Each structure stands twice: as C-alpha cells, then as structure tokens.
Amino acid sequence: MKRVGEVMEEYGTRYMLRPVHGGCEWDVLREHVRPATTADRLSAALAERNANSVREGAVWG
C-alpha cells in the first residue's frame, strides 16, 4: 500500500502514521517505511484533491 503520512509515534518495530492533512492513524512495520520523495508528496496531494472534488460534487466542463 502506498500512503504518505507523518510519524506520530514509534513503538518497538512499528510506527503510527497519520495522513499529512489529518485523518485516521494507521500502524506499519518500520521496514516498510521510507522518507517520502517529492513525487510521493505530489501524488498524495493530487489524490487528496481528487477525493475532495468527488466529495464536494465538483463539476467539470
């Protein structure tokens, strides 16, 4: 699963991550975490914007 998040807590071999702009936290094994690249951040921002457009009922055209 490709997700971008901020580390909120570290415990043992796991991290608790949270979406950059808020939301539900999730946990992940340390070995599955790496620093986000610029492309990762842009992709996550675009996905969030698209999701918000669908929720808000945006109309294009």
* DSSP, residue by residue, 2-56: ---EEEEEEETTEEEEEETT----EEEEGGG--PPPHHHHHHHHHHHHHHHHHHT
Q: For 11-41, what is each residue's pLDDT tens digit?
A: 999 999 998 888 899 999 999 999 999 999 8
Bridge partners (DSSP) listed for residue 14: 11, 29
The model's confidence at residue 61, banded by pLDDT at 50, 70 and 90, is: low
Cross-strand bridge partners of residue 10:
15
Q: What's this model's pTM, rounded to 2 decimal places?
A: 0.69
Q: Does residue 49 surpass a pLDDT of 80?
A: yes
